Structure 1
Amino acid sequence: MTTQLSGRPPEAVYIHIPFCTNKCFYCDFNSYVLKDQPVMDYLHALDREMELTVKETPPGVIKTIFVGGGTPTVLKPDEMAFFLSSVRKHFPQWDDNIEFSMEANPGTTDIDKLTVMKEGGVNRVSFGVQAFQNELLTGIGRIHNVDDVYRSLENARSVGLHNLSVDLMFGLPNQTVDMLKESIRKALELDLPHYSIYSLKVEENTLFHTLFNKNKLPLPSEEDELEMYLLLMSTMEAAGYTQYEISNFAKPGMESRHNITYWRNEDYYGLGAGAHGYVKRQRHMNIKGVNPYIEASRSGLPRLDSFEISEQEAMEDFMMVGLRMREGVLGSAFQAQFGKKIEEIFGASLHKMLHAGLLEHDGDTYRLSKQGILFGNDVFGEFVGALTEV
């Protein structure tokens, strides 16, 4: 929370690799099918953006790095080696206990590539598994199968990567509560330190959105989706995992420290096509297209937009993202960042949510109640524009 006040440089880095083997039917991320893409030109452009970024805002000791996409692991071993050496060159000071995560698709991580990743500093891999039924995977446009999941995890462990996470999804077309139960059981049998489990959101500009509008997307009922969420919460808790954020479960001490940077509204560098960054209360978004990004980086930082975040907006963000975490928001942390009491600014909204039974108040902390977890969006919505509309 103290980054802005103490003037410390950002200690977290997000880097975007926008290439994928194919586009999943639900995906609205800034990603492009790999075939015929200028991958090395992109990595050189990324190298230039890193160089210009650290010149403008020199880094301190880096605590977390997260490489997302797209699918970063579609890079070939030599491309991966170039990319990782580039990161090390521009962000040379790493915390002894750095968390360096990379997203991966099962089936794109052979031993050679994982070895390059580990040698380049990656020490945490997050696999996009989504489900343990091949028919569901096909139905959402994934190109891996369940066997690929086991092979990829085995490969990762064989090169010494043990801080592993998998993503699962619920609320998928044709998914039943029993299917989710089976996916969670199989995921837990892997005995991993971390799981992310998301509900499907039908986003614009996706195949699923087109099908949804034509009434051709066989989604589970709202009742089934609620049952799925309650099932996964109770099953994960019974297996010894803490739900430290609405969609994330971890063994104690194995929470994603990079994501916690976002949820605590702390500064981070955002690099790559379409990436967002937040430094000294300034947000930026990069140019999205691969070739436009490459072109723009030849003559400066490849910005699409950059704007100051007002204090009111920063306060709203603090509440919205902070309440996603089960530990909630601390009044003392709010006061440290903004010099004001949380009740003085958000008294009416806090009172309303407490009265509705969606928030709990314990000493200096406000957090979602068990009911509040189920209606998180209603709670977060209470703080959207709460100050900026006045």
Structure 2
Amino acid sequence: MEALTNEINTNIHGKKQKVKTIFIGGGTPTALNMKQLRSLLELIDHKFDVANCEEYTIEGNPGDFEVEKVRLLKSYGVNRISLGVQVFDDQMLEELGRLHKVKDVYHTINLLQRNGFSNISIDLIYALPNQTVDQFQKSLEEAVSFDLPHYSTYALQIEPKTVFYQRHKKGKLHRPPQEAEVQMYEILKSTMRGNNINQYEISNFAKNGFESKHNLTYWNNEHYYGFGAGAHGYLPGRRTGNIRPLPAYNKKAMSDGKPILSIEEIGLKEMVEEEMFLGLRKLSGINQQHFRDKFGFSCDSLYGGAISSLVKKGWLAEQQGNYCLTDDGLLFGNEVFAEFLLEEEDLKLVR
């Protein structure tokens, strides 16, 4: 907390910063005790214009909330809760190394709703080790039975330096076959559609008006601050990544308030590429007029060949002035995005 306070104080000066959204996550910030959590909320309230913030989210795990914490969050203006549920199966939760059980999800959602929180999102993971399609469908149906306004659902990623990665290398991690993963994704989309929960991004679903404004900041390729161990920020002309793990972050943040590990300069080439990669994650896709207004040239003048090829493959479509992924395109997103990588010479042709 002291290191984070020093980092924010070093970078944010003067009157309270106006921000559209605030997201406390990363980690599990609700693991803080009451004194620490109050200190964090006071710091944010002191530095940012919380009163005029449209969306103020905190991440947490089921079982980490008690009534005092919930009321504290409410009193400081937090208006959205994102819960890391992952799966509605106690055995799978244990294999994932999660500390909560399914009953904790019920208790936590009930506690939040009784204390005035209606904007609640839950995260789910599918394609878990040994998970069957039927098991995923059961877990998904239990999730939507809560009738919440937002759901984020991701296929399991095997990250380096994790227990799962070590098991995977030793051949002891048995993920479902790719065909089953695709089937799970199709069930996910149809189940959400059947419950009037709209897909607005590859992995995100919401009732009308409850799309995550904070995450849309990322997908709209807009700017944001990033503070804390391992945090990423995007300010005009550069992306930054902070030091991790926590002890190294603490040492640097306490010494000079600038615990930056990496700075990536973002020129026109990178901005255009990211506009395409990130924007196509949204179901609404890339608005052609917005692209022209932002960059001074059209999508077609730069990417005409790639767009034509992807449309012929059935992965991309044009709808009401937008380029967006088709249902098949959603399954091959990374291959689609690769088509929008640029060489510096490409930009000379349109400038």
TM-score, shorter chain, exceeding 0.5: yes
Aligned to 1:365: 322
**Residue of 320, 337, 344 corresponding to 1:380:** 337
Q: Describe how 1:263-278 pairs up with structure 2 within 5 A.
A: 263-278=219-234
Read off the aligned partner of 1:53 and give its amino acid letter.
N
Match of 2:40 among 58, 83, 88: 83
State the Cα distance separating 1:387 from its structure 2 match. 3.1
Partner deviation per Cα, 1:220-273 (whole Å, 9 max, x = no partner): 111111111111100100110110000000001100000000000000001111
SS of the aligned residue for 2:339 comes to helix
Residue equivalent to 2:85: 129
Measured in 1, the distance between the counterparts of 2:52 and 2:157 equals 36
Preserved contact between residue 313 and residue 388 of structure 1 (Cα < 8 Å): no
Q: Which residue of 1 aligns with 2:300?
A: 343
What residue number does 2:7 align with?
49
**Residue 389 to residue 243, structure 1, CA distance change in 2 (3 Å):** farther
Shift, 1:364, TM fit: 2.0
- TM-superposed CA distance for 1:168, in Å, is 0.8
Question: 1 CA distance for matches of 2:100 and 2:257?
Answer: 38
Q: Secondary structure at the match of 1:195?
A: strand
**Relative to structure 1, is the Cα distance of residues 93 and 124 closer, same or farther in structure 2, using a 3 angstrom cutoff?**
closer
- What SS does structure 1 have at the residue aligned with 2:57? strand
CA contact (8 A) 2:16 2:46 kept: no
SS in 2 for 1:196: strand
In 1, distance between residues paired with 2:185 and 2:91? 21
Q: Which residue of 2 aligns with 1:67?
A: 24
2:244 counterpart residue number: 288
Structure 1: how far apart are the matches of 2:222 and 2:49? 21
Partner deviation per Cα, 1:297-350 (whole Å, 9 max, x = no partner): 232321112232010011000000000000001111112221111111222221
Which shifted more, 267-276 or 86-95? 86-95
Q: How many aligned residue pairs are there?
A: 345
Structure 1: how far apart are the matches of 2:49 and 2:330?
40
Amino acid at match of 2:173: L
TM-align CA RMSD? 1.6
1:221 matched to 2:180? The reply is no
Q: Distance in 2 between matches of 1:51 and 1:336?
A: 35
- Which of 34, 56, 60 is the matching residue for 1:100? 56
- Structure 1 contact 126–164 (Cα < 8 Å) conserved: yes
| CA contact 1:169–1:198 (8 Å) conserved in 2 | yes
Deviation at 1:145, TM superposition (A): 0.5
The counterpart of 2:218, out of the listed 254, 258, 262, is 262
Corresponding residue for 1:158? Answer: 114
Is the CA contact 1:84–1:121 (under 8 Å) kept in the aligned structure 2? Answer: no
- Determine helix, strand or coil for the equivalent of 2:20: strand
Alignment check: 8 A CA contact 2:51 2:77 kept: no
Letter in 2 for 1:157: Q
Please give the alpha-carbon distance, in whole angstroms, between the structure 2 residues aligned to 1:368 and 1:389.
27
**Match of 1:63, as an amino acid?**
K
Contact 2:17 2:47 (8 Å CA) reproduced: no
Q: Are 1:148 and 2:104 an aligned pair?
A: yes
Name the aligned partner's letter for residue 311 of structure 1: L
CA contact (8 A) 2:3 2:257 kept: no
Q: 1:209 is matched by which residue type in structure 2?
A: Y
Distance 2:16 2:222 in 1: 14
Letter in 1 for 2:45: R
Q: Which residue does the alignment assign to 1:238?
A: 194
Greater length-normalized contact order (CA 8 Å, ≥ 6 residues apart)? 1
What's the offset of the Cα at 1:277? 0.4
Alpha-carbon distance in structure 2 between the residues aligned to 1:94 and 1:358: 43
Unaligned runs of 5+ in 2: 347-351
In structure 1, list runs of 5 or more residues that go unmatched.
1-42
**What one-letter code is carried by the residue in structure 2 that aligns with 1:212?**
H
What SS is found at the alignment partner of 2:264? strand
CA drift of 1:201 comes to 1.1
Give the drift of 1:93: 5.5
User: 1:60 Cα shift?
Assistant: 4.6
Deviation at 1:61, TM superposition (A): 2.3
Q: Is the 8 A contact 1:313 1:387 kept in 2?
A: no
Do the aligned partners of residues 171 and 331 (structure 1) sit closer, same or farther apart at CA in structure 2, a change above 3 Å counting?
Answer: same
Distance in 2 (CA, whole Å) between partners of 1:156 and 1:93 is 20
Q: Which one of the candidate residues 108, 121, 128 is aligned to 1:172?
A: 128
Q: TM-score, normalised by structure 2?
A: 0.94
Residue of structure 1 equivalent to 2:279: 322
Q: TM-score, normalization: structure 1?
A: 0.85
Contact 1:129 1:168 in 2 (8 A): yes
Structure with higher strand content: 1
Structure 2 residue aligned with 1:17: none
